[in-house]
Structure 1
Amino acid sequence: MTAKKIDIYTKMGCGYCARAKRLLDDKGVEYDEFDITMGGPKRDEMTSRAPNARTVPQIFIGDNHVGGSDDLMALERNGKLDTLLQG
């Protein structure tokens, strides 16, 4: 079984970003991290994928915009994250 592609947009020094990455690391899944601390094209990409997103992290699993760290943790608490991560 192949895992879905995971993208996470972060900023340097962001505790919520670290918490989200720690959960994904604990799950043993690979993800692509895009540091948007200095803005640039990846920040523009993030806001085009999630137009109302203004904070980090912003997490995408496959084509699904999960939201931020609290949203990712809620999926885990509710037993829905593993299902979403499956390819």
Structure 2
Amino acid sequence: MTFSPESDHDAAAIEERVEETIAENDVVLFMKGNRLMPQCGYSKRAVQLISTHVSEFETVDVLPALPQYREALSDRSDWETIPQTFVDGEFVGGSDVLAELEERGELESTLSTE
């Protein structure tokens, strides 16, 4: 299913979009803004950390429907803050977790989908 900016932002549509995006992408970052123009420092840091190790990853701007995305992602990950990173369908964490993994030298292997 393809979603456009004009689509209805009801909770069911957002939940479906979250599930489909996670299922269809090896690495996905739900963030405020986009890869080229992050709208918060945490999202910017997450993009930088992931980009260090992975060239191809999906980003989803949650700002157009922040409350609905926050609820759908929280239901999926049990994590309330944005950004959220998923690898091979599994929740990894936010920018703080990515930074901790990088400090321990584990981020590259965590992001590896091979």
State the number of aligned residues: 82
Aligned partner letter, 2:31 = T
Unpaired runs of at least 5, structure 1: none
Query: Which is higher, the Rg of structure 1 or of structure 2?
Result: 2
Is 1:49 the counterpart of 2:76 in the alignment?
yes
Q: TM-score when scaled to structure 1? A: 0.78
- Greater fraction strand: 1
Query: Which residue of 87, 91, 101 corresponds with 1:61?
Result: 87
- The match for 2:14 is none
Supply the RMSD in Å over aligned alpha carbons.
2.0
Q: How many Å apart are 1:63 and its aligned residue? A: 2.6
Q: Distance in 1 between matches of 2:52 and 2:109?
A: 15
Task: Name the structure, 1 or 2, with higher relative contact order (CA <8 Å, separation 6+).
Answer: 1
- The match for 1:25 is 51
Q: How big is each residue's C-alpha offset from its partner over 1:3-36, in whole Å with a ceiling of 9 and x where there is no partner?
A: x811111113211001110121222431111111
Q: How many percent identity over aligned positions?
A: 30
Q: How many Å apart are 1:38 and its aligned residue? A: 2.3
- The match for 1:83 is 109
